[in-house]
Structure 1
Amino acid sequence: MKAPALALLGLLAALPAPRPAQAQLDPGWEPKREAQLQALDKVTARITIIKAPVNQPVTFGTLRVTVRACNARPASEVPDAAVWLQVDDTRNDSGGKPVFQGWMFANAPGIAMLEHPVYDLRVLDCH
């Protein structure tokens, strides 16, 4: 490979990856400000509906959940929501141990799931 090509590859590798909220959306998705999540405590069978504003951490039990992006389908299409979540467990560490990071989809909860012995999270909607 020639030196200019190597320099370009090095420059591209050094660039930070785009944050989920900055990624270009498919025209069929609309950005929203708040996610509606369903949280389940498997020990007590308690179900809680959580309203989580984008970039504002909320807690459920020992989980700290931060929504980084929340997108919904337009009203003219089949309803769906896609949420980029960052979930930390603060049980043994007040700073939080990461237990999930990625997209969750309301219409396909089995694609990406939180695997936790005590808690379950599911995306319901974006507003």
Structure 2
Amino acid sequence: MLSASIRSAAPALLALLMLAVPASAQQSWQGGVESQPLAPPPGAVENPDSPPGGPGVPSIMAPPEGGEVRAPAPAQPEVPGQATVGPSGDIEVVQPPTEKIANKTAVFSGLDKITGRIISFDVAINETVQFGALRITPRACYTRPSTETKNTTGFVEVHEIALDGKVQPLFGGWMFASSPGLHGVEHPIYDVWLTDCKQTAPVIASPGGQQ
């Protein structure tokens, strides 16, 4: 009878013993394996929002290995003629500034559409010459150094003498020796275009003596 009562009371005693043992000891006793949280990787900062005892979350503000924080490199200034990569990833080339050489004389060619005759004549800067019914006044004439691509330009003013003797403006703007038709003088009889610039004064040919 005593042994039967002890056997009937054994489950109750076992339950009381389980309550008295800590949970960690129960896990060790039940499974035989202790579980512990993994340590955070080197240089990681534990996230305060993570549960206690949970694995650490690396922070983007964490210093690199060695504990040294490097400042971003300053932007390099653009160098003329050097290729750089822009913010969008495109390659950008900074063109060097072009150098202009001012000249004293502008060289023109003129066409008489009636006779088909073409003549060349020099005009000093800010002086006026007359070709047929046109008066040509160059205000500037620029060339480029020999190390750059040839590009001769000039700012020219052209006036027309009407049949009644009145002078009226016909053209005012830039002429390009490489592209005579880009900005040309529109006249039914005469055409004038820039061909070159000179540093020397214009040469005026004197008429030869008659025999």
The TM-score bracket by the shorter chain reads 0.7 to 0.9
Structure 1 pair 77–27 and aligned structure 2 pair: CA distance change class (3 A): closer
Match of 2:118 among 47, 54, 64: 47
Match of 2:157 among 80, 83, 86: 86
Bigger CA radius of gyration: 2
Match of 1:112 among 183, 190, 197: 183
Q: How many residues align?
A: 102
* 2:195 is aligned with 1:97: no
Residue type at the aligned position of 1:32: N
Structure 1 pair 55–93 and aligned structure 2 pair: CA distance change class (3 A): farther
In 1, Cα distance between the equivalents of 2:165 and 2:138?
19
Residue type at the aligned position of 1:90: I
Quote how far apart the aligned CAs of 1:93 are. Answer: 4.9
* 2:185 is aligned with 1:121: no
TM superposition score normalised by structure 2: 0.46
Say if 1:42 and 1:119, in contact at 8 Å, map to a contact too: yes
* 2:133 is aligned with 1:62: yes
Structure 1: segments with no counterpart, 5+ residues: 1-25
In 1, Cα distance between the equivalents of 2:120 and 2:102?
21
SS of the equivalent of 1:113 reads coil
Q: Which has the higher contact order (CA 8 A, sep 6+)?
A: 1
* 2:98 is aligned with 1:30: no
Structure 1 pair 67–93 and aligned structure 2 pair: CA distance change class (3 A): farther
Say if 1:80 and 1:125, in contact at 8 Å, map to a contact too: no
In 1, Cα distance between the equivalents of 2:122 and 2:165?
22
In 1, Cα distance between the equivalents of 2:161 and 2:113?
17
Structure 1 pair 95–31 and aligned structure 2 pair: CA distance change class (3 A): farther
In 1, Cα distance between the equivalents of 2:187 and 2:101?
30
Quote how far apart the aligned CAs of 1:90 are. Answer: 1.1
In 1, Cα distance between the equivalents of 2:164 and 2:126?
21
Spell out, residue by residue over 1:67-113, the C-alpha distance to the aligned partner (whole angstroms, 9 max, x if none).
01111111222322111110001133545111100000001222211
Computed over aligned residues only, the root mean square deviation of the Cα atoms, in angstroms, reads: 1.5
